[in-house]
Amino acid sequence: MFSASPPTPVATREGNAIRFRAMPVPRRLAVPVGGFGSADAVEIKPPGTVVGRGEALAENMPQAMAAPIAPADGRVVGEGPAHASADHRLRAVLIDCDPAVDVPREDSSTTPEMIDAMLRRLRGMDIGAGIDVLRSRGVWANRWTSPDLLAQFHASLRRPVDTVVCNVLDEDVALPLQARVAAAYGMEVTAGVLALAALTKARRAWAAVAYYADPACWDSLRRSSAKNDLHLVALRNDYPRAHPTLLLHELADRALRPDRLPTEQGVLLLDTAAAAAVGRCFLRDEPMLTVPMAVRDRSLNKTHYLEVPVGAAYSDVLSDLGLRADRIDLRAGNPLREQHVAASCIATGGELTLTLLTPAVAVNPDPCIRCAWCVEGCPVHIQPAGLLEAAQQDDPYMAHQYGLEACVECGICSFVCPSHLPILAGIRALRSKHAKKR
């Protein structure tokens, strides 16, 4: 269970000393229409239209979708599909930009008084108007540590939430992006969480922080929450505790099915990157023009942190870092999750951490030896070997018996299996096949 007393910091650094380098704008951006539902009705500006930084690139946005916003001055050249991940396809506006410019950021000027003034404004605003503000400024998120933000906000219209939780836990401790965002932009993160609590009328605003997060993260959040209602909660952070299902169980003893939104359990959950975007939007009407990203090159044991223009391809990010995009295994999120992504995927409200691995030599799996290592390692205490068997026999009833609905797709079972059995791949195949049948 949670501890309400965060640890004493062992060292301090000025939060503002932690910076994300601004990546120069690449020549071509694919700015997506974010959110959920169909983007078919969206009217994208015609090719040849000259657009300015921060200008909307489309009209007639459906209620559940965030407007695509130009991260830099440029010219619309058309539209096309873009991928936020291997299986998340989005409609995107293609723009050509002046590649010489950065996307500037002015966060460091936020004061507690600005947060107070923002909260006074928001207390008189209804949730629907708040959603419209976020949509019009292109703010959205939908990733492992931060479930679909607009969908949660919409769901809170039907089912009130009592708690807004900021997920400061990193899914990969070797890539502490969330803690770093909190360290660099503590005021904006705090403003975002409190803004959502004010709009949804939630009684509690919590930030779940790892005990052993960088002291700069703790310092920054302590400073930004000193004179308001954001409550810092210290938690252990062993993988995959940053997953919403495990986090809500640990934090509030609430049982969330992995395929459901936290709002079903009365919680609106977002990570620090999403909270900072929400905070900037309500503090300064700032659109989401960039996203913070962490890129780790495993072979060199080197990690890079940067602010990436929305719509930049991963290949542009890697090229900016002097890394090669060919002959690598590129994975989003914790590599154990086996989220293989192409270099053509774009930076947006999806996953924000990338790991470059040397492609593994294919190994032929051996038969299951009933060692139960997968069972011991499974964080939700189900039967991974049984799920693999269900996948091989294509038996949904057996899959249900072995606990398929509770699987958070962390990949620990595949990682520990001495027979190299593709358990996670089997679980995903089972899920996608039966989701299509429903």
> Would you count residue 374 as binding ligand SF4 (CB under 6 A)?
yes
Site stretch for ligand SF4 (CB under 6 A), options 117-125, 260-268, 285-293, 423-431 = 423-431
For ligand SF4, the binding residues in 386-405 under the rule CB under 6 A are 387
Residue type, 183: A
Tokens representing 428 are 């995903």
Q: Which is nearer to ligand SF4, 39 or 387 (CB)?
A: 387
Nearest distance from C-beta of residue 242 to ligand SF4, angstroms = 13
Q: Which is nearer to ligand SF4, 256 or 306 (by Cβ)?
A: 256
> Of the ranges 6-14, 67-75, 304-312, 375-383, which one interacts with ligand SF4 (CB under 6 A)?
375-383
Name which of 35 and 379 has its Cβ closer to ligand SF4. 379
* CA 208-214-219 angle, 5° bins: 75
Q: Is residue 384 near ligand SF4 by the rule CB under 6 A?
A: yes
- Rank residues 207 and 387 by Cβ distance to ligand SF4 and give the closer one: 387
Q: Which residues of 283-309 are buried (b: 16+ CB within 10 A; e: fewer)?
A: bbebbbbbbbbbbbbbeeeebbbbbbb
Nearest 5 degrees, angle CA 322-CA 324-CA 329? 135
Q: Which of 242, 283, 421, 430 binds ligand SF4 (CB under 6 A)?
A: 421
Near ligand SF4 by CB under 6 A, which window of 60-68, 148-156, 200-208, 377-385?
377-385
The whole-angstrom separation of Cα 341 and Cα 335 is 11
Using CB under 6 A as the binding rule, whether residue 378 contacts ligand SF4 is answered as yes
412 binds ligand SF4 (CB under 6 A): yes
Among 165, 274, 382, 430, binds ligand SF4 (CB under 6 A): 382
| Residue 410 binding ligand SF4, by CB under 6 A | yes
By CB under 6 A, tell whether 144 contacts ligand SF4.
Answer: no
The window from 12-20, 199-207, 275-283, 362-370 that contacts ligand SF4 (CB under 6 A) reads 362-370
Question: Under the criterion CB under 6 A, does residue 363 sit at the interface with ligand SF4?
Answer: no
Residue 411 binding ligand SF4, by CB under 6 A: yes
What's the first-to-final CA gap in the chain, in angstroms?
37
Least Å from the CB of residue 159 to ligand SF4: 26
Q: Residue 157: CB partners within 8 Å, gap ≥ 6?
A: 127, 128
54 or 422: CB nearest ligand SF4: 422
Q: Which is nearer to ligand SF4, 107 or 409 (CB)?
A: 409
Q: How far apart are CA 335 and CA 227, in angstroms?
A: 38
Cβ proximity to ligand SF4, 129 vs 369, nearer residue? 369
> In the complex, which residues of this chain contact ligand SF4 (CB under 6 A)?
368-374, 377-380, 382, 384-385, 387, 407-413, 416-419, 421, 423-424, 427
